Amino acid sequence: MKRGTGQILMLALFVAAIVSQGLAQENIRIGVVNSLVVLERSTEGKRIVAQLEEKNRNNQQRIAKMDDDIRQLETKLNTQRLTLTDEALMNLSSDIERKRTDRKRYAEDSFREFQELRNRLFTKLQAEVKPIIDQLGKEMGLEIVFDLNNSGTIYFDSKIELTEEVIKRYDASKAPTKK
């Protein structure tokens, strides 16, 4: 079992134990939010997804251009191998290897930068949504709110679903203020 899955399972068992003990004493009020839906449907989430898609598209275009440059040099090497001098062959081979190295470095760097950007943007969104969820939980008298995307939830009653209200309030909090 993966470490993350084990932790989720342990958390679920712990919550189940607490809930089962608490049910004998009182009803525990629970809510759920699907953070993935908040990301997909909120105005800010859509902006983040579009920004990440644009970054990824630009990276892929640059890598495709680098691949094309390498293929052109390889074609030149293969078609002119018999007519080029030894020095020209060595220079062309060196250029190909340098471009392959540059491409590999760019791919690794752009992937790392993309991951860092994604993490930074998702963390910012989560930090902005958390107070909204906290306030909504207090207003509804909830003791606990789960994230469906990260909780391993198998079943829940849709009456405890808070996602749409979170999206509505989050969008409202990001809307330009009228003067």
pLDDT at 155: 58
**Domain presence at residue 166:** yes
Domain boundaries, position 129: 3-174
How crowded is residue 134: how many other Cβ atoms within 10 Å of its Cβ?
12
- Select from 34, 62, 23 the least CA-distant residue to 145: 34
Tokens of 71: 């293929």
pLDDT at 159: 74
Tokens of 37: 């839906």
Q: How far is CA 126 from CA 36, 114, 119, 129, 170, in A?
A: 11, 18, 10, 5, 11
**Domain presence at residue 152:** yes
**Domain presence at residue 57:** yes
Mean pLDDT of all residues in 22-37: 76
Separate counts of helices (H) and strands (E) for the chain: 6, 2
**Domain presence at residue 123:** yes
* pLDDT tens digit sequence for 107-126: 999 999 999 999 999 999 99
**Domain presence at residue 179:** no
pLDDT of 19 strictly over 60: no
Report residue 2: phi and psi, to 5°.
Answer: -65, 155
Beta bridge partners of 147: 33
Mean pLDDT of all residues in 2-26: 58
Which residues make Cβ contacts (< 8 Å) with residue 67, sequence separation at least 6?
103
pLDDT at 1: 47
| Residue 163 CB-density burial (10 A; 0-12 exposed, 13-18 middle, 19+ buried) | buried
pLDDT at 46: 96
Structurally, the chain folds into a number of domains equal to 1
**Domain presence at residue 47:** yes
* pLDDT tens digit sequence for 38-91: 999 999 999 999 999 999 999 999 999 999 999 999 999 999 988 989 999 999
Mean pLDDT of all residues in 154-162: 69
pLDDT band at 27 (very low <50, low <70, confident <90, very high): confident
Q: What is residue 171's DSSP assignment? A: H
